[in-house]
Every structure is written in C-alpha cells, then in structure tokens.
Amino acid sequence: MALEVYSRRTPNRLDLAPALAPRCGFVPKEGPLSLFSSWTSGRRDWSGRRLLVASFAILTSGLLAVPAHAQVLYGSIVGVVQDAQGSTIPAATVTIVNKDTTRTQETVSNENGEYTLPNLQPGLYDVKIGLQGFREFVKTNVPVTAGQISRVEAKLEIGSLTETVTVESAAQLLQTDKSDLHTELKSKEIVNLPLNQYRNYQALINLVPGATPASFQNAQTDTPGRSLRTNVNGMDGQSNNTRIDGASSVNIWLPHHAGYVAPAETIDTVNISTNNFDAAAGMAGGAAITLVTKSGTNTVKGSAFYFRNQDELNSKAFFDPVKPNSSLSIGGGTVGGPVVKNKLFYFAGVESNRERNSRFDQYTVPTAKMRNGDFSEVLAVNPKFHLYDPTTGNADGTGRTEFPGAVIPANRIASVAKAIQALYPAPNNAGTNNACRTTCSSRGIRRPFATTTT
C-alpha cells in the first residue's frame, strides 16, 4: 500500500542587486537623522532647528574633508617621490586615472615628498608623477582594493618632462601600510569557484584561515536568502559584521545572519579581515566582511546565467521508496555601462530562485482492525496488554473487567471518536509493533512533504 499526501509551500524570492550607480547610502532607523528628529521636536522654533542642522552639516563636512587611510568601502594610493639619490621631492604632480571609467584625480607631494589619494573606487589605475626638470614617471595597472592601501614609490630621473619612464605594476602589491590579516575574493573567484546550491558567496569563507565551515542555521522561512553562519578564530558567529557598499547588513531577529545576500554575479570584491583590522571596520569581533558590488564602466558589459538541479539527475535516498520531486533553478543576469561617458554610470542585476523540495516522513496511524475497535494485533505481540471496559469496576479503578480478546464492541465506539478517526490516513507501509507495551506504534504511514520557492 502507498499513500502520498503532497504538501506545498510557495514563498517568493527575487534578489535585486543594490548596485545602481551612483550609489546611495541609507541611514538606519535609529541613526543620526532620527536623533535629530527627537532633538528638534517639542516646542522649539524652526530657527533653532535650522541652527542645529547647519551646525551638524558644518561639523560633518569638516570631518569628511580629512583624508583617511583606514577606509572600509574604498581604497587609496600613497607613496613618496624621490630623486635618483634618494632625496625627497616636494611639489611633484601626481595624477591617477581609473582604467575603467577614465576618472582622473590629482594631488601634489608635500614638503616630505609624500602624497595621498584616498577614497578610490576599487579597480586598476595608471599613476603618473611629474615635475619640471625630471622625466615623467608612469606606473600602469596599479590595483586598488576596498579597505586597502596601495603604495607606489617613485624615483624621478633628471631629464625632460616629455621623456617618460614607464613601469608595469605587479598584479598583487606587498602589504606594507596595514597590519590587518585579511583574505580578498574578487569577482573572478566568486563566479568560477564552486559555490553551494544557492550560489552564496559566503560559502567561500571556508577558504579563510581560522573560519569554520559555513552552514545553514535556520529554516528557509526565517532566512529566505539562505544566509550562512561561520565562526572565525573561535569567536561566536554573531560577532561577525558584514558591510555591503559601506552599510552594515544584519538580520535583526537572527543577528548571526547577514540581512541581505548579494547575488554572486553582482559582487566585485569581498574582503574578509580576521585580525588587527582598523577601527573603521569595527562592530566586529570575529570577522569584518566588506562587500563591494560592481559598478558600471565606459564599456557596456553584462552576463546571463542559469543553473538547474533536478530530481531526474539526483540519486534516491536509501530509505525512500521513490525519488522525491525536488528541483532548484537559479537564473538571472547583470548589465552595466555609461549613462554619460566618463561621468555617470549604471549597473543593475537580477537573480531569481525557483525551488521545490520534497521529503518522506513516517508517522504512526491505526491499522484497519484498530479503526473497528479490534486491538488483538497488539495483544498478540504483547501478552501483558490490557484493555479495560470503563463502565465496570469501582471509582478508584479497581474491579474493572477487560474487553474479551482486546476487542471493543462496535456499539461502544462513540460517533465523535469515529469522526476523528476518519481524519487519519490509512497506513501505506508495513510498520512494526515491536515497541508496544501498554500502547502500540501500529502500522507506519510514509508521507512525502514538498516545499516550493519561486
């Protein structure tokens, strides 16, 4: 006999990449703006509110104007300009060009020959350093990554400014300006390395030294993005902090999970700092994870992807009678390019997850004889089984008589009991009575469950 009762749940999930350039930040509900609201509420007049907001704007603009070496979302290029004898050169012009967007930034070296170009979008840059009376120094393809400092030291040779000395940068620069221990994953690794069934970039945190294997911790209804939890350097998973384009992402109900899991195709860089990270990457005790999504460039580029895992290609579990109906389809695409060349860019991505999960469960249900009040099957397995007539004996339970053969007469079965009994499905599996003592496990029912996500 076989009884299959199919249960289906169809929650929806559609991931939109939060990566339209130019990006916009957001302020948490309890952030500075809400505090301003409370500070300026009540009986104060509007002039007082304007003064407070204006004071805050002046203060923050002054703070933001200070160059910062410790950055979370952006990187920086620093260095010292010297002549051939090692003497520092002040007032040298340093120009950098982003190779993807051709955005140009410029600064000059200070009295010690030092220069700093902060808040740089991750990517490859060409660095040019020049001063009248010296040959122009050019270093190409300098990599800049989120939260890291790229050092470019220049030695200028005497000559005409029209002469150029070009140096090709190494693909990976030596880390000399920061002491943090970090692992960096670029888009190429994220897209090409094996991910889990949901194509979650967090699965690659397994490659980080000191990290435990990432795993699911909660049901799909609680974490539809299927965020993973990992412990780093023995710290609790709740002490990790994930930032997406600079904004902290956390599930406030399940703080050991990231609030949003960006689709793999929309990610440019993931930086996982596990020790000695800067204060700017704070709010973390285990790992400070910085995720930077892709941005548009002067070239129109995009991708399309589709992955499917279906039951026809899967093996049957040993104890299942047949293969359950399960499948997983993930599809989507990305596109990015210029709105105004060299000035304004766009990037967008979409990912769809369509999933159907099935499983077999076993439950205990009455046999056909038990439905008619006949418990002789139980008695045959367990001779100590007793079924007493509740209308006999004393109030304290003594003096009761048993139903002959452990069979309840049909006219003694209440109509309410019959109605409830009718709601139980019939057994479709052999089952056992081995666990019977004063009760019986009866015959088993094998029931498949299915969930569907679209």
* Among 445, 435, 438, 423, residue whose Cα is nearest residue 367: 445
CB 204 within 8 A of CB 193: yes
Residue for token digits 């793999």? 264
Does residue 111 form part of some domain? Answer: yes
The answer to whether residue 391 is domain-embedded is no
Q: Is residue 84 domain-shared with residue 157, that is, in the same domain?
A: yes
Q: What is the pLDDT of residue 210?
A: 84
Do both 150 and 236 map to the same domain?
A: no
Residue 271 placed within a domain: yes
Task: Decide if 154 is inside a domain.
Answer: yes
Q: Which of 248, 275, 294 marks a domain boundary? A: 294
240 in a structural domain: yes
**Are residues 160 and 222 located together in one domain of the fold?**
no
- The parent domain of residue 264 ranges over 24-44+180-294
The residue type found at 94 is V
Residue with tokens 């052999």: 430
My answer on whether 211 and 285 are in the same domain is yes
- Calculated CA dihedral for residues 37, 38, 44, 49, nearest 10 degrees: -40
**Residue 431 located in a structural domain:** no
Answer yes or no: do 215 and 123 share one domain: no
* Cα 401 to Cα 378: distance, rounded to the nearest angstrom: 18
In a domain, 36, yes or no: yes
Residues 104 and 191 in one domain: no
Supply the pTM of this predicted model.
0.62
Q: Which of 264, 294, 324 is the last residue of a domain?
A: 294
Residue ranges of alpha helices (H) inside 100-197 are 187-192
User: Same domain for 194 and 287?
Assistant: yes
Residues sharing a CB contact under 8 Å with residue 259, sequence separation 6 or more, in sequence order:
249, 250, 251, 252
pLDDT score at 172: 64
Is 156 part of any domain? yes
Domain boundary among 265, 294, 323: 294
* Size of the chain in residues: 454
Q: Which tokens in the block code for residue 454?
A: 């679209």
Which DSSP state fits 135?
Answer: P
Q: Which residues pair with 134 in a beta bridge?
A: 158
CATH code at 103? Answer: 2.60.40.1120
Mark whether 149 and 197 lie in a shared domain. Answer: no
Per-residue pLDDT, 216: 84
Positions of the chain with pLDDT under 70: 1-72, 169-174, 176-177, 179, 279-282, 431-454
**Is the same domain home to 137 and 203?**
no
Clarify whether residues 34 and 104 are in a common domain.
no
Q: Do 196 and 285 belong together in one domain? A: yes
Residue 173: the pLDDT is: 64
Question: What CATH number does residue 202 fall under?
Answer: 2.170.130.10
Split into its structural domains, the chain has a count of: 2
pLDDT of 282 reads 66
Distance CA 61, CA 442 (A): 75
Q: Is the same domain home to 85 and 232?
A: no
d(CA 210, CA 206): 9
